[in-house]
Amino acid sequence: MIKNKELIDRFFRYVKIDTQSSEETGTSPSTAKQHDLAKVLYEELKEMGASDVYYDTEHCYVYARIPGDDRSPLGFIAHMDTSPAVTGKDVKPRIIENYNGEDFLLKTDEFPELLNHIGEDIIATDGTTLLGADDKAGVAEIMNLAEYLLTHKEVSHRPIHIAFTPDEEIGCGTDYFDAERFGTKESYTVDGGKLGIIEYENFNAASAHIHVTGKSVHPGSAKNIMKNASTLAIEFQNMLPAVEVPEHTEGYEGFYFLDSMKGDVEKAELSYIIRDHDAELFAARKENIKKITAYLNDKYGEGTFSAEVKDQYHNMADAMKDHMDLVENAMEAMKKVGVTPVNEPIRGGTDGAMLCENAGIACPNLPTGGYNYHGRYEYASIQEMEKSAEALIHIATM
Ligand SMILES: [Zn+2]
């Protein structure tokens, strides 16, 4: 049974607005249609009486504040865009009431997690689009928090600072984030999934581009002369540990991921991403790339291989050490809504990690109640959304 109909109505309203971002355009925001949701949120925040409501009409960010008691302000952030992977146009969300474990668009043998939702109400797609719970569930839950606090003035709470960002799905969500306007160093992103999971550890991340220069001669007279850049590239790849790849790792295990390769006899290129939660192991992985490069240059001649290794972002766990009350409060809030909190390492990055790194904002990630992101099988549990929203209120008032 739906308890917080306004929250669900809000969510439906937002997912029907197409805000798909794009990796192709190179603009900021990457797609103009993200403004369609930004405008709605801006108007709704003004209407409910939030303070300092600001719409960055150039780069598509929305900021607002809800004045509170004299404690330090607390931030909540969600992103407005949806994944470029699957269309977000004409989303037709539907509710499967009192889910009984039967197959619908989703089958339980493929998605056994569904069986945890028996008796709940599920929001699914019609199978032609994604749902957009990532992250409009988060947006709706933050808007619900704002509305609640503004209509319950008797409730004492920390000042709340809100930001809605574009282009998170293409890794550009914080490019034009105005940390000064946001005005707090303690925040949460509300962009997780399963209720109860709190995330504050993410990967250390680097990219590595390997360039191989070969020597092309006629294959008929190539003996002892030809250097085939493509086969040399394969040799490089084969020197990396075969099991330290995304498809064989989980939890805190790091990896090298060969994201793309191309080559002919004269030139070849390998593009990797390197990931590890542990700072020392991360450094060792980068060092390993350099060692292999040096070894192969020794073998085939200086300049045959070159490696460009660049850091992308770092684990926010280090910076979180002074702000563990954020994690503790979130865990306490989960208990208050009746779920056991779990800390799970993120096998990726978040906008929070970027904000932590670039603006010194401690920023763990909270759940929203959505599942199977970036695809047609995306769904959300209404009861988990309601509890996620309730948890935000607990956190704000702690
Ligand atoms: Zn997201």
Separation of alpha carbons 84 and 82, rounded Å: 7
**88 Cα: distance to centroid of ligand 1 (angstroms):** 14
Using the Cα atoms of residue 367, residue 368, residue 371 and residue 373 in order, give the sign of their dihedral.
negative
Output the CA 6–ligand 1 centroid distance in Å. 22
User: Ligand 1 centre from 186 Cα, in Å?
Assistant: 19
Asked if 74 and 111 touch (Cβ cutoff 8 Å), the reply is no
Is 121 noted as a catalytic residue in this protein?
Answer: no
Q: Give the model confidence (pLDDT) of 221-265 as tens digits.
A: 999 999 999 999 999 999 999 999 999 999 999 999 999 999 999
Rounded (10°) CA dihedral 349, 351, 357, 358: 140
What per-residue confidence (pLDDT) applies to 349? 82
CA 226 to ligand 1 centroid distance, Å: 48
Tell me the residue length of the chain. Answer: 398
Tell me, in angstroms, the distance from the centre of ligand 1 to residue 354's CA.
14
168 alpha carbon to ligand 1 midpoint, in Å?
7
Tell me the fold of 209-313. Answer: Alpha-Beta Plaits (3.30.70)
Count the Cβ atoms, other than its own, within 10 Å of residue 100: 8
Max distance between CA atoms of the chain, in angstroms, equals 87
Q: What is the pLDDT of residue 238?
A: 98
Say how many Å lie between the CA of residue 223 and the centre of ligand 1.
54
The number of beta carbons lying within 10 Å of the beta carbon of residue 295 is 13
Query: Which sequence spans correspond to the domains of the chain?
Result: 5-201+315-397, 209-313
What are the residue ranges in the chain where pLDDT is below 70?
A: none
Q: Is 113 a catalytic residue?
A: no
Mean pLDDT computed over every residue of the chain: 96
pLDDT of residue 78: 98
Q: Say which CATH class 5-201+315-397 falls into.
A: alpha beta
What is residue 194's predicted lDDT score, i.e. its pLDDT? Answer: 97
Q: What is the pLDDT of residue 220?
A: 96
- Å from CA of 15 to ligand 1 middle: 13
Q: Provide the whole-model pTM.
A: 0.88
Contact residues for 52 (Cβ-Cβ < 8 A; gap 6+): 63, 64, 65
- State whether the Cα torsion 12-18-19-24 is positive or negative: positive
Catalytic-labelled residue, pool 81, 135, 141, 357:
81
Alpha carbon distances (Å) from 156 to 66, 245, 386: 12, 49, 21
pLDDT in tens, 314-356: 999 988 999 999 999 999 999 999 999 999 999 988 889 999 9
The pLDDT of residue 259:
92
User: Active site residue: 168, 186, 384, 390, which one?
Assistant: 168
